[in-house]
Amino acid sequence: MSSMTKPSVSAPAVDLADEAAYLDAVAQARKAADAYYGSGESGMDDDAYDRLLRGITAWEDAHPGQIAAGSPSQQVAAGVTTGDVAHTVPMLSLGNVFSGEELSAWAGSLERRLGGEAVAGWAVEPKLDGVALAARYRDGRLVQLVTRGDGTTGEDVSHAIDDITGLPTTLSEPLTIEVRGEVLMTEAQFTAANEQRTTHGATAFANRRNASSGSLRAKDRAYRIAQTFFAYAALTDTEHTSDPTLAGLTHTRLIARLTALGLGTTSGTPVATTACTTLDDVMERVRQIGALRAELDFELDGAVVKADGPADQGRAGTGSRTPHWATAFKFPAAQKITVLRAVEWSVGRTGVIAPRAVLDPVDVAGTTITYATLHNPADITRRGLMLGDHVTVYRAGEVIPRVEGAVTSLRTGDEQPIAFPERCPRCGSDIDRSQERWRCARGRACGQVEAIRYAVARDALDVDGLGEKIIVQLVDRNLIEDFADLFTLTRDQLLTLDRMGDKSADNLLAAIETAKTKPLNRVFCALGVLGTGRSMSLRIAAHFGSMQAVRAADAVALEQVDGIGGEKAPVIVAELAELAPLVDKLVAAGVNMEQPGFVPPAPADPDADAEAETQTETQAQTQTSAEKGGALPLAGMTVVVTGGMTGPLADLSRTEMSELITRAGGRASSSVSARTHLVVAGDKAGSKLDKAKALGIETLTPEEFAQRLADLTS
């Protein structure tokens, strides 16, 4: 077998010392499986269950004559759920591997089943984290939905036919076919489902799989819950389909055929089913899927590796529980169950009051989590959270951990309601509760020191030597009310501050004077407008060119800026109106209000060919860049910078890198997507570099990037 680099590995199997420990483990796993495959809500997270099941399997391998009756390792879906609908072909589970070495060993065992012959080709696809489902079509019409159940029989859930995206009621061709796949919830569907549940007096779902399982089986609700189906298999023998050509298709071609019929598949997503030639190719694709995991709007917990060809599949055969020609490569768990101990309330620089969950420490995707976001009070209420709850915490890639929901089946009665603040936690003022995000009634005045600190930070005005202790003194002595007042400070005023000598005062005044000359994007960032940051400030400044133009823009005009939608634009307009006195003070103090290098777009030509009106967004961006700066090296390109910069770019901050990209005609972005043209990957680039490689995006080192922009960096 080819050598492969070992990826991250899940926690080791539970070590079972003797038969008593084994039987106890079987009982724990059975209880967890009963909940997981029954109600969908288990008090044991996937990682803990996997470790327990691996321990059980290892003990059974060593003691084959002492396997307990009903061991979950011996049955499909742990043998928990049954139904009244028989599967004409068993609906099996998958075995698991957790490392490159284990995958290589599994592939070796498959080759031995093939008589020592190499597998003709592989297929790799995501292991979706949902509920297995069979969809039966007769003459092109969807007639029945059946859950996997125990693999032999399942439950009829045809009442959900109209609720599932990806399962059309009529195929594009009048085929008779049984399609198998996974039902799950996207992030938007999960949010909508919880809103409906809580509106109707039910508790919120703890996680998406819980939501899918419970919603699929519910028959008598007064509301409907939408879900999504992804097909990953079909019965291709002539007994079960009217299309005899399906039997000769490789797995990758079968998925393409199902897509053409109108069924939901992962085709068109970054994690689409992919054909691979060698096991090294397989492992690389597994890594790519892992890198893309955090960016998807549906959940996956691994990658599935299959022999692609039907001949290899047929020769390998199946066991009583799993096929021999496919396995699941499990990723480190992105969600775990832990205990919510407290909720802390903080106040941001704009006066927004934000809750944060304090958790029992738990390792999620390789990081120890003790805090997680709770978004806002309305979100806490919707999820029905209580102190002492066992909660599901989710984190994938670089995503900030969040609390998904409570595992209500684990409640003991000792849980306590979460107390919401009656007054502003910082200043004690009233709270504005008119929106879901609560805010101190004093707004920015409450976060006065924090707002000034933000304004003078490196990514904004970059006033060297102006730390928090000095800002606090300036505010406490009524020398400044906001950061605009910094530009009218005198030397004598500074010398009244503690530990402020002549040289320090002169240096600080010089730094403040330098701040007056910063480009518009830095000044706009310093304002701390809600919904904007350093990247958005740069886009706004590059689009409008002057503060006067920004202030004159209405919501419609602001929506023309990349990343500003219909919800954010009115907020920015309102914020700028509120900040008008501060901006006026900055203008009066002589602070720069222009974006260097800005050239207004050429006026529209009334005689221009109509074809120009239909040019693509990318073409329009490239044209604008060319108008502004000629043949700029990054014209029309979206660029992501990740990792530590080295070489000629070593001293540049992220904001300075973004400004450099903009001057070169490009657009700086913080996330890698299919629209990204270039990634600059420095030291310890991490998952963004992995994702760029997975999407086939060009990558450069900082030194190579500096060379490309030599005229701008010299």
Q: Give the catalytic positions in this structure.
A: 127
DSSP class of residue 142 equals: E
Rounded-to-integer distance, Cα 299 and Cα 184, Å? 8
Please give the helix or strand (H or E) that residue 188 lies within, else none.
helix 187-199
Asked if 586 contacts 487 with a C-beta cutoff of 8 angstroms, the reply is yes
Rounded-to-integer distance, Cα 504 and Cα 518, Å? 22
Rounded-to-integer distance, Cα 568 and Cα 535, Å? 15
Q: Calculate helix-pair angle for 448-455, 468-476, nearest 10 degrees.
A: 130
Q: Shortest CA distance to 313 belongs to which of 300, 323, 304?
A: 323
Rounded-to-integer distance, Cα 616 and Cα 641, Å? 25
Asked if 176 contacts 138 with a C-beta cutoff of 8 angstroms, the reply is yes
Computed on alpha carbons and rounded to an integer, the radius of gyration of the chain in Å comes to: 30
Other CB atoms within 10 A of residue 254 CB: 23
DSSP class of residue 479 equals: S
Most distant CA pair in the chain, distance = 94
Q: How far is CA 659 from CA 54, 281, 452, 702, in A?
A: 52, 38, 22, 15
Rounded-to-integer distance, Cα 31 and Cα 478, Å? 64
CA 548 to chain centre: 37
- 326-330: strand order across its sheet: 95-97, 326-330, 300-307, 122-128, 274-276
CA quadruple 662, 667, 670, 671: dihedral, nearest 10: -160
3-state secondary structure of 320: coil
Other CB atoms within 10 A of residue 398 CB: 13
Q: Shortest CA distance to 545 belongs to which of 565, 519, 527, 566?
A: 519
Strand partners, 85: 154
Strand partners, 274: 124
Token duo for residue 638:
């979206």
Rounded-to-integer distance, Cα 291 and Cα 681, Å? 15
Other CB atoms within 10 A of residue 188 CB: 11
**Residues 6 or more apart from 158 whose CB is under 8 A from it?**
143, 144, 145
Other CB atoms within 10 A of residue 566 CB: 10
Token duo for residue 195:
């809103």
Question: Residue 548: what residue type?
Answer: Q
> Would you mind telling me the total number of residues written for the chain in this entry?
714
Asked if 504 contacts 467 with a C-beta cutoff of 8 angstroms, the reply is no
